[in-house]
Structure 1
Amino acid sequence: MMQDALDRLDAASELAGDGQFDAALRELQWFHEQALEHDPSLYGVRLSYALHAWVDLGADYQPALDALLATRERDAALLLAGKGKRGLFHDVVAIDEELGQGADTHVLCVALERTDPVLLAACADIALPAIIAAGDYALAERLLPDPGATIGQRSRSLMKTFSRWRRQHARTMFIGSQIGIYAADVRQVLEVLVQRGRHAEAARLRRLAVELIPATTVRRAVRAALYAS
C-alpha cells in the first residue's frame, strides 16, 4: 500500500517534468487527501516532500497554487468551526510553512484561542514557532502554562529516542540531530520566559534541561548547545 502511494507521488514529479501539470496536480491532491489511508507512516512525507512538490508545481502552474491555497482555507475554516483535530491543524501549519506564510498561522492561532482554545493548547508545540516568530509572546506564554513540565516531557522523549537508537547502533549523526531538536525546543521555551520578564525561571529551567539528561555524552552535548554564546 505504501509503495502504491509513493508511486503516485513519483508520478506527479514525472508528469510535472513532462509539462502535464493538471495530471500532476491531480496526483498531488490525491496524495494529500488519501495517502494516510494507505499508510499512516507517510505522515511526514505528506507534510514535507509532497507539499514541497505541490508548491514547486504552483510556481509553474497557477491552478496548482490556487488549489493548495483553497485546501488551506478549507482546512482552516473547519478548524475555526470546531470540526478539526491536531492532524488538520498540522496540515495548515505545514502549508503555511511551505508558502512562507507563517504570519497566517499566527492569525489562525489568535482566532482559535477564541473559538477552540482546547485544540490550540493541544497543538501548542506545532503552533509556537509561528507565534514566537510573530512576536506574540503573550499568547506563547499562555500556551506554556507549565514550562518545566514541557521541558520534562521533551527530555523524556529525547532519552527514549536515544535508548532505542543506541540499541540499534544508530549513527552519531542521527543522535546529534535529536539533541539539536531538543535544544531548539528548550530555547524556544526559554525565549518566551525571557521575553515575558521571567528571567530567573528561564535560568533555572536551562539548568534543569541539562540535569534531566542522565546519559553523560548526551548531557554534555545538550549543555554545549544551551550555553553556547
Structure 2
Amino acid sequence: MYFTMAISISEKNHFMNDHNQHAKQVLDKAREAHAAKEYETSLASYEWFFEHALDEDKGSLYGVRLSYCLFGWVELGQEYEPARIRLEQKFEHSILALEQSRNPEYFHDYASIGACLGQQEAVLDKFIAYHHADPRLAREIVHFIWDELLASPHMLVCATYIDNAPALYDGKLEKHDETMKIFASRPELATDDFMQGMRDRFIQEVSNIIKVLQASGRTEEAGAVSARAKADLEKRNYIHSLPA
C-alpha cells in the first residue's frame, strides 16, 4: 500500500512539473509573439496562461500569474486594442465570479488586474461597498487590499479587521522568520538588497498595525504590540523606527 501510494505521489508530482513547464513555455510564447508583432497569438497565450497556470499546482506560478503575465498583457494592450479590451473584460468578470462563487481568490484577480489597468480607486470603492453591505465577504478578501486601505482615507476601516492584535503580530513575525529562513538557504536569491527589502517590508507591516490601533483609539493594544515588536526586532539586529 505504501509503495503504491509513493508511486502515485511521484507520478502526480511529475505531472505537475510537466504542467508547470508547459505553462512557462506558453508565457514565453506570449512574450516572443508580442515581440514578433504576432499579436493574436500573444493574446491567446497570455489568456491561456492566466486561465490555466494554476490548474495542477496552486502555488508555484501564483505570483507569476498576477505579475509577469498581467504586466505583459497590459504592454500588449498598449499596441493591440483587442488585448486591452479582453483584459478589461477579465477585470469585470473577476468581480462577477467573486459574487457568484464567493471564492476570495477572484478578488485577488480583480485587484491585481485593476492595479495594472490603473483602476485602483474602483477596486478600493468595491471593497468599501462590500465592507458595508457584505461584512462576511469583506473579511475574506481584506488582506488582498490591506496596503491600499492603509494608504487611503479609509485607513480606520482596517481596525475593523484586527480582532486580536497580538495574534496578528505573532502571525506576521512567524511568517517573516520562515520566509527569511527559506531565502537564507538560497544564497543565489538572497542578495543583501533583497534581504533588506524583506526586513523593511516586515517593519512597515508592523508599523501599520500600530498606526491603525493608535488611530482607532486602541492605544493599550498599540503599546503592547510596539513593545513586543521592538524587543523582537532588536533580537534580530534590525534597525527600526516604530511608532511610539
Give the counterpart of 1:57 among 57, 72, 76.
Answer: 76
Inter-partner Cα distance in structure 1 for 2:191 and 2:219: 34
Say whether the 8 Å CA contact 1:80–1:116 is kept in structure 2: no
Calculate the aligned-residue CA RMSD, in Å. 2.5
Q: Secondary structure at the match of 1:85?
A: coil
**Alignment match, 2:66:** 47
Bigger Rg over Cα: 2
1:162 and 2:177 matched = no
Amino acid at match of 2:225: L
Inter-partner Cα distance in structure 2 for 1:33 and 1:56: 19
Amino acid at match of 1:187: S
Q: Comparing both chains, which one has the higher relative contact order based on Cα–Cα distances under 8 Å and sequence gaps of 6 or more?
A: 1
Give the counterpart of 2:41 among 3, 20, 23.
Answer: 23
**Alignment match, 2:122:** 104
Deviates more, 1:24-33 or 1:201-210: 201-210
Structure 1 residues 190 and 54, CA, compared in 2 at 3 Å: closer, same or farther? same
Inter-partner Cα distance in structure 1 for 2:185 and 2:121: 42
Inter-partner Cα distance in structure 2 for 1:111 and 1:71: 20
Say whether the 8 Å CA contact 1:85–1:119 is kept in structure 2: no
Q: Secondary structure at the match of 1:210?
A: helix
Alignment deviations for residues 67-123 of structure 1 (CA, whole Å, 9 cap, x no partner): 111111111122234x13222121111112222322122112122224542232133
TM norm structure 1: 0.85
**Alignment match, 1:70:** 89
Alignment deviations for residues 125-166 of structure 1 (CA, whole Å, 9 cap, x no partner): 222112223210232211222222211110111222334444
1:149 and 2:167 matched = yes
**Alignment match, 1:194:** 214
Q: Secondary structure at the match of 1:39?
A: coil
Inter-partner Cα distance in structure 1 for 2:26 and 2:186: 32
**Alignment match, 1:90:** 108
Amino acid at match of 2:71: H
State the 1:5 CA deviation.
Answer: 0.7
**Alignment match, 2:139:** 121
Inter-partner Cα distance in structure 1 for 2:88 and 2:185: 44
Quote the sequence identity (%).
26
**Alignment match, 2:240:** 225
Inter-partner Cα distance in structure 1 for 2:119 and 2:240: 29
Alignment deviations for residues 4-60 of structure 1 (CA, whole Å, 9 cap, x no partner): 111111111111112121221111111111111143311010011111101111111
Say whether the 8 Å CA contact 1:15–1:23 is kept in structure 2: yes
**Alignment match, 1:205:** 225
Inter-partner Cα distance in structure 2 for 1:109 and 1:5: 31
Deviates more, 1:160-169 or 1:66-75: 160-169
Q: Secondary structure at the match of 1:225?
A: coil
5+ residue gaps, structure 1: none
Tell me the matched-pair count.
Answer: 223
Inter-partner Cα distance in structure 1 for 2:157 and 2:99: 17
